[in-house]
Structure 1
Amino acid sequence: MKGKIINSVSRRNLFKFGATAVGSGLITSKLGLNLFDAPAADAKQRLTPDLAVAELLQGNKRFSSQKINQPNRGSFRLREVASGQKPFAAILGCADSRVPAEIVFDQGLGDLFVVRVAGNVATPEEIGSLEYGTLVLGAKVILVLGHQKCGAVKAAMDNQPVPGQIGSVLKHIKTLKVASTNESGDLLRATTIANIKNQIATLKASPVVTDLINSGKLKIIGGFYSLDTGIVTQVA
């Protein structure tokens, strides 16, 4: 009789534990406390440059198709990156509020080393930051990310007087002559893509960046973000 009582209690405790575990899992999911943050983060740190590019593009595919994972955003990851960072990719993006890199590429805390400035221009300050993000922190790819309807590129194209220090940014955007009869017939888009490629060329003039590329530790690509669809198209 005693044995039956003990077994009954044990079963009840087991069911309670199971229910608690399932409930905790639901709560964890709702709060974004991902218990699998650490293995995913470690895997990203071991990516090659080509795989780092693939990870970025796959993340953007998840975002644009509304199938986001929201990785590395839990409390474990928060504590983990407090002691140091090892981003797998670096982004030189526009400061436009509609293009937040971590959301657009479905990444989390410590995954991306992001430098944002109007027109995604490679000034000495931005270059120095990206040198640090790649040489010291180990990012495997630099993505220069321009976007649809970029106000900075449009202002540079208009070539009109601007107030304050805005001109200090615009001077780094060379409105290269591009054919107005490009694929989309959109001169602003074509100029934005030309600007992306020009900033990549500027970055490649850095001896630090060049050495990393030549040693196979780094890759630089360009991307164009559509505000309408959320899709990043590789353009360089």
Structure 2
Amino acid sequence: MVRGNERFVRGEPRHPRQDVDRRHQLELGQAPRAALFGCSDSRLAAEIIFDQGLGDLFVIRNAGQVISESVLGSLEYAVSVLGVQLIVVLGHDECGAVAAAIASQDPETPPLPPHIAHLVDKIIPAIRQVADVTEARNPGSVNKPGDLDPYEVGRYHLRDTVAELLQNSEIVTEAIAEGRLGIVGANYRLTEGRAVPDMAVGLVTP
């Protein structure tokens, strides 16, 4: 995936394993190399930015890469049934869900529709963490939610997402403890096209 992302950044993708023969190879089953849980943002098409082919990635996406029962079930399926050895949790800059979460903390912002509000609620702890850290470093610098750095909120939310996955999935934590699985949290930079690792848990091999 690292090499594929480098090809994408250089503008030299190979578009591997996307032909008729590959389709036929996958008719009776799949054995993806990794599971990727990322934001639904249309600019983050996983197989494109990592230059992967059919059957290479088991992809789960929702707005803001927010943990839910369906996400946990999908990742546990990838680990326990498909045997993936790597989970990539992918956030990105200029995330609309992060921006909506930050804006929602302003009393003058109109309430979000219920389902969207439920989604962005998972990002609010990261907002509070960033506010606390920012205020500790520079007292008086945070007068309203808009004073916060959205990129930093996204980074903290990425780490919270990985922590929540570990807290709520015994299958994932057991696989990590047994040396069968690693998790990488990464942030995708839209302008560069580069996925930048931010954290890692468990066995992660190049």
Q: Fold match, TM over 0.5? A: yes
Distance in structure 1 (CA, Å) of the matches to 2:82 and 2:128? 34
| Structure 2 counterpart of 1:43 | none
| Structure 2 counterpart of 1:216 | 179
Write out the 4+ residue segments of structure 1 that deviate beyond 2 Å after TM superposition.
174-177, 179-182
Partner AA of 1:92 in structure 2: F
**1:47-86 CA distances to partner (integer Å, 9 max, x unpaired)?**
xxxxxxxxx1111111111121111101111111121111
Shift of 1:151: 0.5
| Structure 1 counterpart of 2:158 | 196
Identify which of structures 1 and 2 has the higher relative contact order when contacts are C-alpha pairs closer than 8 Å and 6+ apart: 2
**1:192-218 CA distances to partner (integer Å, 9 max, x unpaired)?**
010000000011121000011111111
**1:151-188 CA distances to partner (integer Å, 9 max, x unpaired)?**
10111111241124111211222323224479xx9710
Query: Structure 1 vs Structure 2: percent identity of aligned residues?
Result: 40
Q: Say if 2:48 is the partner of 1:103.
A: yes
Q: For 2:152, what is the secondary structure of its paired residue?
A: helix
Q: Say if 2:189 is the partner of 1:229.
A: no
Q: For 2:88, what is the secondary structure of its paired residue?
A: strand
Q: For 1:132, what is the secondary structure of its paired residue?
A: helix
| Structure 1 counterpart of 2:115 | 165
**1:16-49 CA distances to partner (integer Å, 9 max, x unpaired)?**
xxxxxxxxxxxxxxxxxxxxxxxxxxxxxxxxxx
Q: Say if 2:84 is the partner of 1:145.
A: no
Question: How high is the TM-score relative to the length of structure 2?
Answer: 0.82
Q: For 2:60, what is the secondary structure of its paired residue?
A: strand
Distance in structure 2 (CA, Å) of the matches to 1:210 and 1:104? 28
The one of 61, 75, 85 aligned to 1:130: 75
Instruction: State the Cα RMSD in Å.
Output: 1.7
Residues 186/69 of structure 1: CA separation in 2 closer, same or farther (3 Å cut): farther
Comparing both structures, which one devotes a greater share of its residues to strand? 2
Distance in structure 1 (CA, Å) of the matches to 2:103 and 2:158? 18
Shift of 1:140: 1.1
Q: For 2:29, what is the secondary structure of its paired residue?
A: coil
**Structure number with larger C-alpha Rg:** 1
Contiguous gaps of at least 5 residues in structure 1? 1-55
1:176/1:194 contact within 8 Å kept: no
Residues 162/213 of structure 1: CA separation in 2 closer, same or farther (3 Å cut): same
Distance in structure 2 (CA, Å) of the matches to 1:106 and 1:126? 23
Distance in structure 2 (CA, Å) of the matches to 1:64 and 1:162? 36
Shift of 1:91: 0.6
Distance in structure 2 (CA, Å) of the matches to 1:177 and 1:112? 32
Partner AA of 2:2 in structure 1: L
| Structure 1 counterpart of 2:26 | 81
Question: How high is the TM-score relative to the length of structure 1?
Answer: 0.72
Distance in structure 2 (CA, Å) of the matches to 1:209 and 1:62? 30
Distance in structure 2 (CA, Å) of the matches to 1:103 and 1:143? 15
